[in-house]
Structure 1
Amino acid sequence: MEDPTGIAALTKILPSDLGADEGIDWSAAEVRWGTRFPRDYMAFMSIYGAGSFEAADGRGGGVILMPLPKESIYLDDETFEEETQNARGAWAMLGGQEGLDIDPDHILAWGVTSGPDILCWLTTDPDPDQWPVLVWGRHTDEDFTLFPCGMVEFLRRLLLDEYDPYPLSIDLRDVSLRYLHRLERQKR
């Protein structure tokens, strides 16, 4: 059976044992952001949840964000809010990407790196499953780079080192890389 989200291919290279279903209220997220979300992102949140990529030596790399805040005793649970504002502001300030004339309101952040890059969707297509990934690379050759794939496929290719040049300011190609759910990360 075909997996339209690509999540099965990702779980083959990125163990999901330290992930957890985030239990997102997708209807509330749609109301908050005024849009549906890509199926691959929803599948990712149901298997891995919000959390971070970390190497065996404890080096952190990237964080996948939640679309809504969750009740927590911890203050560092991240959401889309701040990073989306940062990405939209950078797009407006830096003039976007040559040849791509879009309103910054069509940028929605779903992740960040310690680089500190911001991983986004370009939401101009009415079908969220068609949203390409837009990376604001803080220490990369281009300020903004567009990737014609969804979030899960972008992560799979990133982890398998299929991009040349590598699109982030930090290296997530470490074979010992794990994904830690946000609550697991906080326990450690």
Structure 2
Amino acid sequence: MTDPAALDALLRLCPPPADPPPAPDWAAAEKRLGTGLPEDYKRLVEAYGDGLFDETIWLLSPEATADLSNLHEQRTERDGVLESLWLMDEEKPDGLLEEGAYVIPWAFEEGSGAFLYWLVRPGQHPDAWTLLFNEGRGPLWEPHAMRCVDFVLAVLTGTAETAYFGRLYEILKPTAHRFETTAQVIGAPGR
């Protein structure tokens, strides 16, 4: 279930694009994924589209035209990467030891290789999925019992209880927050 107050707070803190892209075809996206998606993620993508919060969190969307921010393309890539790591005996996080459990990426951190996933468990409604942060270049998997919107809001306000993003925002300390669409970032000079 979407918490309208959290989304409203995020929209006030970090204004969305004045002309967001059309809402994705959620039925087609969910069919392709083989599962439903959390409602708050859908509202987040409908408000912002795919792109970058505060030069830190890339939000993925199922209809993004760039592979970089396309939910389906990143899922395929991450599935391959994680499978390779687990074949080399890297430990899976506890939740993935459950039969039938898997992860779907919904965002990643700019520059570090760190990803934010949903932990999908058999029979569990998408709105109840746990978020998992994986540092990308190491074994850290942090579980977060919160929704996507709540997590992004906590990161942007510096209140996220996470080993990674807490340190990042202590360094950055942004005074104003911004969201850039993937098209704005890819087309930006020096990127």
TM-score (norm 1): 0.77
| Matched residue, 1:117 | 114
Distance 1:14 1:168 in 2: 17
8 Å CA contact 2:114–2:134 kept in 1: the answer is: yes
Distance 1:177 1:78 in 2: 23
| Matched residue, 1:78 | 70
Q: SS of 1:134's equivalent?
A: strand
Residues 115/99 of structure 1: CA separation in 2 closer, same or farther (3 Å cut): same
| Matched residue, 1:136 | 134
| Matched residue, 1:67 | 62
Residues 18/33 of structure 1: CA separation in 2 closer, same or farther (3 Å cut): same
Q: Please, which runs of 5 or more residues in structure 1 have no aligned partner?
A: 55-59
Higher helix residue share: 2
8 Å CA contact 2:95–2:101 kept in 1: the answer is: no
8 Å CA contact 1:22–1:50 kept in 2: the answer is: no
Alignment counterpart, residue 159 of structure 2, candidates 162, 170, 173: 162
Distance 1:129 1:143 in 2: 24
| Matched residue, 1:106 | 102
Distance 1:119 1:167 in 2: 12
Residue 3 of structure 1: how far off its partner (Å): 5.7
Distance 2:113 2:151 in 1: 17
Residues 45/115 of structure 1: CA separation in 2 closer, same or farther (3 Å cut): same
Distance 2:67 2:97 in 1: 37
Paired residue type of 1:156: L
Residue 137 of structure 1: how far off its partner (Å): 1.3
CA offsets per residue over residues 65-104 of structure 1, 9 Å max, x none?
122453xxx6755333323443455466421235763358
Distance 1:139 1:174 in 2: 25
Q: SS of 1:175's equivalent?
A: coil
Residues 18/139 of structure 1: CA separation in 2 closer, same or farther (3 Å cut): farther
Aligned residues: 178
- Once superposed, what is the RMSD of the aligned Cα atoms? 3.1
Residue 166 of structure 1: how far off its partner (Å): 3.5
Residues 182/147 of structure 1: CA separation in 2 closer, same or farther (3 Å cut): same
Paired residue type of 1:115: S
Residues 86/99 of structure 1: CA separation in 2 closer, same or farther (3 Å cut): closer
Q: SS of 2:133's equivalent?
A: strand
Paired residue type of 1:83: R
Percent identity reads 20
| Matched residue, 1:57 | none
Residues 185/105 of structure 1: CA separation in 2 closer, same or farther (3 Å cut): same
Q: Superposed, which structure 2 residues align to 1:168-183 within 5 Å?
A: 168=165, 171-172=168-169, 173-183=173-183
Q: SS of 1:171's equivalent?
A: helix
Distance 1:128 1:152 in 2: 14
Residue 40 of structure 1: how far off its partner (Å): 0.6
8 Å CA contact 1:87–1:136 kept in 2: the answer is: no
Distance 2:38 2:95 in 1: 25
| Matched residue, 2:147 | 150
Q: Please, which runs of 5 or more residues in structure 2 have no aligned partner?
A: none
Residue 45 of structure 1: how far off its partner (Å): 0.8
